[in-house]
Every structure is written in C-alpha cells, then in structure tokens.
Chains A and B, each alone.
Chain A
Amino acid sequence: MLRDITLGQYYQTESKLHELDPRTKLVGTFVYLISLFVFTNAYVYIFAASFLLLCVLISHIPPTYMIKGMKPIIFLLVFTMVLNMLVTPGEVILTLWKLTITKEGVKQALYMGARLTLLVMGSNMMTLTTTPTRLTNGLERLMAPLKLIKVPVHEIAMMMSIALRFIPILMDETDRIMKAQLARGADFESGNLIKKAKSLVPVLVPLFISAFRRANDLAMAMEARCYHGGKGRTQMKPLKYRPRDFVAYLILILYLAGIILIGRYL
C-alpha cells in the first residue's frame, strides 16, 4: 500500500516540458520566481499568468491537477490576503465594526494573492514534470561550481537520492512497527496532543534503531561496490543539453524581456 506512493509529485505523461533537461527547468523556474518579485504591476502578473498557462498547455498536465496543487497553501493565501486588506492604510471604502478595508489594501491583497498563486503553481510546474532522480541530478550539475569552495555537492546529491529511495521503505517499516505495538496494546488514538506525541516514542525508537542498521548495511554495500565519492566517477545517465533546451532558454529570455518591458513602460 505505502509502497505505491509517489514521491514529490511527478505527473507521468509525455510532453515537450517533460523531456527538457532538468537544469533548464531549474533555471527556468528560478527566473520565473524572480520575475514575479521585480515589478508590482497588474500587467506583469497577467503576462506571467499567461506564460504559465502556456506551459500548462504544453505539459499535458490537466489544469484541475494544477489547481489541486494549491490546496496546501489555501489557508496561507486567504490569511495573507485578508491581512493585507485590513492593515494597509489608505482611502477607506468599507468599515465593519473596528475593521476598515482600504482601496490600497484591496489592491495590495490582489497583487499578493496573484504573486503567491503564480509562485506555487510555477514551482509545481517543475516538480510535476521532472522525476526526483532527474531533479537531484540537475541540482548536482548546477551546483558543481560550488565544489571550488569545498561544498560537497556530489555527496549532498547522493544523500538526497538515497533519502528518496529509503523514504518508502521507512514508511512501510513505520506502518509495521505501529501495528506490532498496537498488537501489544499500544494506544495512539486517545488523549490530548502531548499524550499522543508521547505514545509515538515506542514507534520512533525501533524506527531509529532500524534506520541506523540500514544505514550501516547500505554504507557497506556501497563500499563493496567500489564507491569512493564523486572522484573518477562516470555517469550512466549523464545530462546533455539538446536543441530543445536551447529553444527553451530562448523562450525564457524572451519572457524575461517581455516582463521588463511591461514592468517599465506600462
């Protein structure tokens, strides 16, 4: 059951966006996120939103899926918008008891809402079209220059990919331990929050012990297969820029130019 969970939120389908090099997508997302913060201007947001819509259409990801991805931040979104509406000083348009809503506040709230929505949807776009493995791979390559200042880039990427491999296994194990403790009369349901948290101790202790044992085994298995860090290592699936990546970069530059033009002159 738990073995079937997908990590991250990769959406399996075939599209031009899925095929892009993960580095292109990482850079693209980064640029997109920054572009949302440079100008506060309704036209800029409309332009950015249409660009995102274009990406969604190309990616073959159902729009409902994109909207579903907004669920976790809906509370944050509403909270920020309401707060912005209430605390921004300016021309009062509505007074309810002690709360006043200003014209500037409404404007600010709408901008904030648009910015947050595009921000989350934009980064979802990347995780939906890229497998965690490729994402890790892309990050490793993009951060490679940091090796010069002694950042263990390869090791970080290796840790990330091992974590991705072991999360489902450890979740399975948690499930098993919980059942075993339930069979011994453990109670995870009743009591207040503190009592509930305390009742998890008999699950966490065996889980940690087993995780360390696994780590030890895995380290040995990796050593036995000649692992000795990133030095002298070749790659089975090396990342390679293809013509479509250059096209994507070109589109990205055009997008950036569009944003700057609109932000400056409209």
Chain B
Amino acid sequence: MGIVDINKVTYEYIRRDEEGNVEGITTAVNGVTLSVKAGEFIAILGHNGSGKSTLAKHINALLVPEEGTVFVDGMDTKDDEKTLSIRQTAGMVFQNPDNQIIGQVVEEDVGFGPENMGVPTKEIWERVEESLRTVGMYEYRKKSPNKLSGGQKQRVSIASVIAMHPKCIVLDEPTAMLDPKGRREVIRAARALNDVENITIILITHYMEEAIYADRIFVMEEGSVVMQGSPESIFSQVERLKSYRLDVPEVTELAWELKKAGVPIKFPILTRKELTEELIRLGRR
C-alpha cells in the first residue's frame, strides 16, 4: 500500500439554479485510480478543467469522493475522526500565494499549522526556524507577507506546510501565478524536499517543463487519467499529448521536429543540456 491510494474515485459538481433545482452535473473526476509510493515525485498534468485540482483536494480530505475510496497513509478520507491526521500527513499548497497566507508576519504564518495541531510553544519555534531554513526564507521571518515576491510567498506557503511535518505534499498549480524566476524558485524548493527530506511530492501543473523531473507523470483529461508513465515515455508521444491540448517541453518539441525532418536524433529529449550534447554529437559525425 502506498502513501496515497486513490481507487475508482468519482466526484461530481452539481449546478443548481436559483430555486435549487438541478441544472446540470459536471463530472470533475471520473473513476480515477492512482497509487503513489512513499518518497516518489509525481506530476499530474492536464488542461484547465481536466479535474486535476478536484483530485488534489481529495488527497487532503477537503473533498470526499462520492464513489470510490481515497486512502492517505492507510487512513480513509471518509472517516471524520481521521480528517486532522490526514491533513497533517498530506499538506497542501494552493495556487494563489495571497489567499493562503494567514499570518501578518512570515513566522506567524508558518506557526499557524503547528498551533492548530496543538504543538507546544517551544517546539513551534523550532519547527518554524527549521522549515523556513529549508526553503531559504529564514532571513525574511519578521517581514510582512505583503512585501514578498510571488515566488517568496509560495516558498513561505511550502514552509508552512513543512512545519506540520507531513509525509506528503500536494502542490496544486503552485506556479500558475508566478513569473519565470518565481517558478524556478518554487520547483527547486519542491525538488529539494523530495531529494533531501524524502517527502513525497504530488505536483499538479500545466507547465510541462516542471514535470520532467518527476518519477512518474499522470495526464488527466475530462476527469480521467488518460496516460501514465515516466517522463520519457509520456513526452515521446508528442501527437497524443497535443490531442489533449497539452504541449511538450520546447526542447522536446524541437528534437521531435528535427526527427520528423529526418535528422537521426535520439528521442525523447527532455532537458536543454541533453539536447546540446546530442546536437554536438550529431555535428561531430
């Protein structure tokens, strides 16, 4: 059994008109089965409205499946008594950096989770220091969150989750509202957590470049998982990805075009470094 076990989960949003009559039903998640092992780095890709965020909220027990089951570290999310331990085990970072920081000072925000868990005061301070250092935001601990950049705010949000000592962190499009620099900062922090602290990371994104470091990728479309596998195997299916209105990383696309034009290039290629090396090798021949 993995750290997160999602089994045939279905979730529907019901739209109602003003009198409360059902107007229509949107099936956001449709029979998804997915299992994540402890220590893995998972990326979930999908176009807007593919159900990836709805799925993410199931892992944190913010939503409870209508059909199917979600187990987090062996705990059923339907069990009300387990809700708090589930949320502590699987932390969550959201998209909008402004709307998830509660404290008026960085350190107070990081302390919010441990406070809710009833951690003793002295230990809260230790946890706050340790998690702010992990994301490299320790020197900003006395600042107001309003004065930080988007990337810094998201790193504070990540620190706030780490302070709860989770085994798994779900990042729900953490970079969607950031500039390229902020995006790099956040992804670097997430990868470091996975490498150094061995925390399971579930990254939900629609930036392909962020997914290439994942151990496994899941592609979602209209509420279902339509592709899964290693980054190499996913990104080698360029045409299939495009049919789901998803792009491949720029580098991969270039290599693919070259290959189509008859250049004997290795495929797939995911990173810029790989591409450069391959082009040099081809040039030498």
Instruction: Give A contacts to B, CB under 8 Å.
Output: 3, 132-133, 161-162, 164-165, 168-169, 213-214, 217-218, 220-228, 232-238
Contact = CB atoms under 8 A, between A and B. Distances in A.
Contact of A169 (B98, B103, B114, B125): B98
Contacts of A218: 99-100, 102
B115 A224 contact: no
Interface stretch (B9-17, B86-94, B270-278): B86-94
Interface in B92-130: 92, 94, 96, 98-105, 107-108, 111-121, 124-125, 128
Interface in B43-66: 57, 60, 62
Contacts of B117: 226
Nearest to B60: A224
A254 B115 CA distance: 39
Given A225-B116, A226-B164, A236-B108, A165 B99 contact: no
A133 B105 contact: yes
Given A164-B104, A234-B119, A237-B108, A226 B88 contact: yes
Given A220-B94, A224-B87, A234 B115 contact: yes
Q: Which 10 A-B pairs have the closest CB atoms?
A: A221-B100, A236-B111, A217-B99, A226-B116, A225-B113, A224-B92, A236-B124, A232-B118, A3-B146, A214-B99
A169 B88 CA distance: 28
A227 B102 CA distance: 11
Contact of A233 (B87, B91, B118, B145): B118
Nearest to A172: B146
A225 B108 contact: no
B160 interface: yes
Interface of A is mostly: helix
A214 B62 CA distance: 17
Nearest to B127: A236
B263 interface: no
A232 to B, nearest CB: 5
A221 B103 CA distance: 12
Given A221-B94, A236-B128, 12 more contacts: A133-B105, A217-B94, A217-B100, A225-B116, A225-B161, A225-B164, A228-B84, A233-B116, A233-B118, A236-B115, A236-B121, A237-B121
A132 B108 CA distance: 14
A213 B100 CA distance: 12
A233 B84 CA distance: 13
B121 A223 contact: no
Contact of B98 (A214, A228, A235, A236): A214
B165 to A, nearest CB: 12
B114 A236 contact: yes
A164 B103 CA distance: 10
A168 B100 CA distance: 15
Contacts of A214: 96, 98-99
A133 B145 CA distance: 14
Contact of A235 (B60, B88, B121): B121
B260 interface: no
A162 B101 CA distance: 10
Contacts of A169: 98, 146
Nearest to A5: B146
Which of A221, A237, A238 has its CB near the most chain B CB atoms (within 10 A)? A221
Nearest to B87: A226
Contacts of B57: 220
B191 to A, nearest CB: 22
A234 B125 CA distance: 12
A242 B139 CA distance: 28
A223 B105 contact: no
